[in-house]
Amino acid sequence: MINHESDPKNASQEAQTGEQKANWQTLTVAEEEHLERLDAFLVRHYPKFSRVKLQRAIAAKNVRVDGQQAKSSTRIKREQSVEFLPPQPEPEGTIPEDIPLNILYEDDHVVANNKPPSMVVHPAKGHWSGTLTAALAFHFQQLSTIGGATRPGIVHRLDRDTSGVILVAKSDTAHIDLASQFEKRIVEKEYFALVSPAPNHDRDIIDKPIGAHPYQREKKAIRIGHSTSRSASSFFEVIERYRGFASVRVKPKTGRTHQIRVHMAHIGCSVLCDRLYSGRAKLQLHDLTRKSQDQTTLLERQALHARNIKFKHPIDGRDMSISAPIPDDIEKTEQALQKYRPLT
C-alpha cells in the first residue's frame, strides 16, 4: 500500500524543499514481505527504477525504515513503514537560462568558452539547472544535435570545479570533425595547476591506467588489469616551486575522467583543494603564514584550469590555439605562495 503524504518532521526532512516533501511516499511492509531485503522490496514496488538506482537512493538517505536511515541489505519486518523519495525524472531537453558566457572565440561553426568553476557542463543527477548547456541554449540559436537533447553543442567536458577553455560545436559537421580530432588525439590541451607538495622531478610522464574506484563511486583510481581500466597518459612540468607547493603545466595525452587529478594524486602531489583526491577543500591564508589571525580564504575549489587548447578548425583546417587567462582565485593563491612560501 502506498500513501502520498508530507515527509515526517525531523531534522533531515527540514532540509528538503516543499516540493520534495510532497513527493515522499510511504509503504507498509506486508506479511509476505517479512525479512525481505530493503532494495529487493523497493524493486518490486518501483519497477521503473533499476536496482542500482534504488540502492543509490538508499545510500543518498532518500529511504527510511520506521523513520531511520537504512542500508540496501537491511531486512525489513512486517508492518514496518518504508519511506521513499523517488529520484527526480531527468529533463527531456535543455531549458535555456540567461547565464552570462565568457566567449574566447566564435565563428559560424565553433565557440570557445571560458568556463567558470562551479558550473556543470551538462545536466546530470542533482544538477538540472545552471549548466553550461542551459547558457548555450539561451545565447545561440544553433548548436550541434549529436550529443542529444541535454548536451547541445558539447564535444568534450570539464569537471565542475575545473575552469578554463572548452570547445562547443555549432553544427553537426563541426561536431563530427572535432570529435574525430579528440579520438585521434590531434587536439592538444594544456592545464595549469597548483599542487601540494611539489613533485620530485621537474618534468615527467605519468602513464597509468585509470578505472572505477574500488569502493567510492564518485572517484576514479589507478587500476591495472581491471575491467574498467583505460590507458591514460599525462605529461607535467614544474613552472615554479614553493615551500610545500608548486605550479605545474600538465598536458594530458588522453582524456579520462579526473585524469589529471588522479595522476597527480598518484605521485603524491595532489591538485590543491581537490575535495576528492587531496583531503583539503579550502585553503586559507593562515595555512601559509601559520598565523591564526589570517582567516582570509584563498581557494575553495580545485586549483586546476584548462589554459589552452590547440586543434584544427573543423571546416577550413586552420591551426587554432585558444587560451583562457588564469582566474582570479588561482592567481591570488599563487601570489600568496610567492609572498609567503618562496624557496629562498
Q: Which residues are catalytic?
A: 159
* CA dist., res. 64 & res. 283, Å (int): 36
Query: Distance between alpha carbon 156 and the CA centroid of its chain, in Å?
Result: 13
Q: How many CA atoms lie within 13 A of 264 on its CB side?
A: 38
Q: Which residues pair with 166 in a beta bridge?
A: 113
* CA dist., res. 184 & res. 156, Å (int): 14
Q: What angle do CA 174, 180, 183 make, to 5 degrees?
A: 145
User: Scanning the structure block, which residue is given the C-alpha cell 575553495?
Assistant: 300
What cell does 199 get?
613533485
By the 8 A CB rule, do 152 and 133 touch?
yes
What cell does 48 get?
521503473
Helix axes 51-59, 38-45, angle to 10 degrees: 120
User: Scanning the structure block, which residue is given the C-alpha cell 612540468?
Assistant: 237
Picking from 284, 279, 309, the residue whose alpha carbon sits closest to that of residue 294 is: 284
Cα dihedral value 276, 93, 52, 219, nearest 10: -10
* CA dist., res. 209 & res. 225, Å (int): 8
Picking from 201, 209, 221, the residue whose alpha carbon sits closest to that of residue 277 is: 221
Could you report how far apart the first and last alpha carbons of the chain are, in Å?
72
* CA dist., res. 304 & res. 190, Å (int): 11
